[in-house]
Structure 1
Amino acid sequence: MSAAHTPAPLDALWQTSVMVWALLAGEGLAAILALAPAGDGNRWVHFGVASLAIQWVLLTTLGALYGLRTRLATWRPAHVAYAGLLLLVLSTWAVFGVSAWLLADLWPMSDGERGDWFLRLTALALTVGVLGLAAFQNHWRGRQLAVRAKQAELEALQARIRPHFLFNTLNTGAALVHQRPEEAERLLLDLSDLFRAALAGPREITLADELALVRRYLEIEGLRFGDRLRVEWQVPVALPDLAVPALSIQPLVENAIRHGVEPVATGGDVHLQVATNGDWLEVTVANALPSAPVRPTTGHQVGLNAVRARIQAMTHGRGSVRTTTAEGRYTAVIRIPLTP
């Protein structure tokens, strides 16, 4: 799976705010046409007729785009924009033709007048369409730049947490080779899986695969700390079929070990729980805070910020990572919606 959802060019059109602004823009165009010096007559009547015609053209164009959305999803953004311009012109012709036919008795026109109106409305549709085309291209370019910037930010955050994580693991392996060589093989197998996940870059894997990586990491740290590291798991037998960013839970477990186990001579406990709460998946990682003064350790905000950024990017801002300190325990909770 990709690290972030790639939006389709027409996705923005189906948002409520965009639809409202499009309708308001149509009313603004109708007001301009009504106020333009186009001869005698009631301006309110001109505004009503122009508003009705423009909204019909707009709704017809949007309806055609929505009906063709599946086919247009495979087109390039520039081609989609030109298709929208063509549909706008065709909708203008269709509305003009139907109006001229239905209102033939109330709006008699000669062939010359009909041709003149046809050319005027075509020119107006092309002018508005070209302006909309330019706005669409700017909007799409801005969205693409934002996606690329976010991807670069995530990759930079991922690159910053790799050295600390990998070097610590290598140090553990080096110590085991000399002290307990019989366990070195198992460590190398776990280490290869962790290396593969860390070096693959930002991506999404299943929750089960992410928890398997956490278990491998805890096995390595268990060899390092021995009885000083006490881990409690609360994981349901049937895990939700859900994707999570790779190495999103592991940094929180590493953080718990670094601040709750490593500084204390007697070690400490790490509690990991996976549960569903309504429409949300909640992954909780908690550790006891040292009760006695210990050697201070530097913060691990890089890993926490990376996890938070990747969760928010994957869930389009719906997911979260929250931390609390209460009753002598530090708790980090990942919340991910169960439905896209």
Structure 2
Amino acid sequence: MFNRNSEKRQLEQGVNEALNIQGDFLPDLKKPSVALIVVLVCELLAITLSLAAFGLEGFNWQGFGMVSFAVQWIALASLLFLALMSSWLNKRHPAIAGLSCFVVVQLMTLCLFSVVISQYGDMLQLNYWSLGQFLLISMIISGIGLRYMYLQQQVRNQQQAHLHSQLQALQSRIQPHFLFNCMNTIACLIEVDPQKAEQAIEDLSELFRASLAEPKLVTLRDEVTLCERYLAMEKLRMGERLHTEWQVADEAWNMPIPSLVLQPLLENAIKHGVHHLPHGGTIRIKVLKQNDELHLVVSNPLVQEARSSGNQLALNNVLARLKGHFGEKVKWSIEQNDELYTINIRYQLKKL
């Protein structure tokens, strides 16, 4: 018997792999280019602090050297620790990761100036009020710097997610074996029922026109119409073995949905469910709008021996495409008993 929690964990891993989203909180701090940028920015910061402290006319080069050393030491030590912590940070909630990064930088500042004050405090006329001043400056500068790096990385993550969602859209389109089955069916119908053959060609044409179009949001009404064309093609092959039941809420018809999202779910329901039953079965599709979420529910007869990785691959692709449009607002669950396998996908709506 399939373990529901185990399958959901596999799906979560598959979706993240499909999107190649690793939850990176900061850029790759191990890259030499990142270290170079940090050094340059810190040197500019040291110059700015020295000018503010000494002025241009009485600029103190010795003081500038000490400020530069302190800033660079704190920055590079923090960079090293954060690079070593990167795997741990990427697995944590952004708030926890951000707070951890902030604390690391302040600890580096505290360690450096505690040593300096204890060893050279009298000579440099430093005291613990000076330490508080440096900590305050460190908090402000590190907060701004970490926030900037975080936002830059999130932009990269979103760009990467968008690129991969487009790739997944290509992979999740109509499979070649479906085309071969349709062409064979049409060839058989041409002589015995030309009218059905013509209608089948029109349905197939619309399906492939949609599959070759750019990934976009359509209304649920358009998506259902496209799915009905697909089911009509499959029904020509399976006859009375294939039954479908639609339940669509009136307020859901004009809601946005990525084109060809339901079709892979229906194809899986046929391939891994109805196809394996001698007398066929019924696929139930339910679409509900609850508050600001759209729920897509697809149920099919459960055939244990027919479950395969192909089912997960198609679902991963669908979820990846939805996440490409709606981000982390996409949620899903799987329910199964001795007779039914049900996929429930829901996402927060946005206007077309």
User: Taking structure 1 as the reference length, what is the TM-score of the superposition?
Assistant: 0.59
Deviation at 1:327, TM superposition (A): 4.0
Matched, 1:270 2:349: no
Q: Aligned residue pairs: how many?
A: 258
Which of the two has greater helix per residue? 2
Deviation at 1:237, TM superposition (A): 2.0
Letter in 1 for 2:279: T
Output aligned runs, 1:205-220, within 5 Å.
205-220=218-233
Q: Distance in 2 between matches of 1:218 and 1:276?
A: 24
Match of 1:191 among 204, 208, 222: 204
Q: Distance in 1 between matches of 2:211 and 2:232?
A: 17
Check the 8 A contact 2:121/2:127 in 1, yes or no: no
Q: Distance in 1 between matches of 2:301 and 2:217?
A: 30
Deviation at 1:241, TM superposition (A): 5.0
Q: Distance in 2 between matches of 1:339 and 1:313?
A: 13
Deviation at 1:56, TM superposition (A): 4.7
Q: Distance in 2 between matches of 1:185 and 1:326?
A: 41
Deviation at 1:272, TM superposition (A): 0.9
CA offset digits 1:242-261 (Å, max 9, x no partner): 43333221111122223443
Q: The residue matched to 1:247 in structure 2 has which SS?
A: coil
Q: The residue matched to 2:243 in structure 1 has which SS?
A: strand
Partner residue, 2:264: 251
Deviation at 1:203, TM superposition (A): 4.4
Partner residue, 1:303: 314
Deviation at 1:211, TM superposition (A): 1.7
CA offset digits 1:256-281 (Å, max 9, x no partner): 22344334443321211101344432
Check the 8 A contact 1:35/1:43 in 2, yes or no: no
CA offset digits 1:261-307 (Å, max 9, x no partner): 334443321211101344432111112347xx9x9697642323322
Partner residue, 1:154: 168
Matched, 1:20 2:99: yes
Partner residue, 1:80: none
Matched, 1:333 2:344: yes
Deviation at 1:141, TM superposition (A): 9.4
Q: Distance in 1 between matches of 2:158 and 2:300?
A: 40
Matched, 1:170 2:183: yes
Q: Distance in 2 between matches of 1:258 and 1:243?
A: 27
Match of 1:48 among 132, 135, 151: 132
Unaligned runs of 5+ in 2: 1-18, 20-25, 28-93
Deviation at 1:195, TM superposition (A): 0.3
Q: The residue matched to 1:238 in structure 2 has which SS?
A: helix
Partner residue, 1:111: none
Check the 8 A contact 1:210/1:249 in 2, yes or no: yes
Check the 8 A contact 1:272/1:283 in 2, yes or no: yes
Matched, 1:287 2:300: yes
Output aligned runs, 1:2-13, within 5 Å.
none
Unaligned runs of 5+ in 1: 5-10, 63-128
Check the 8 A contact 1:260/1:269 in 2, yes or no: no
- The root-mean-square deviation of aligned C-alpha atoms, in Å, is 4.3
Partner residue, 1:319: 330
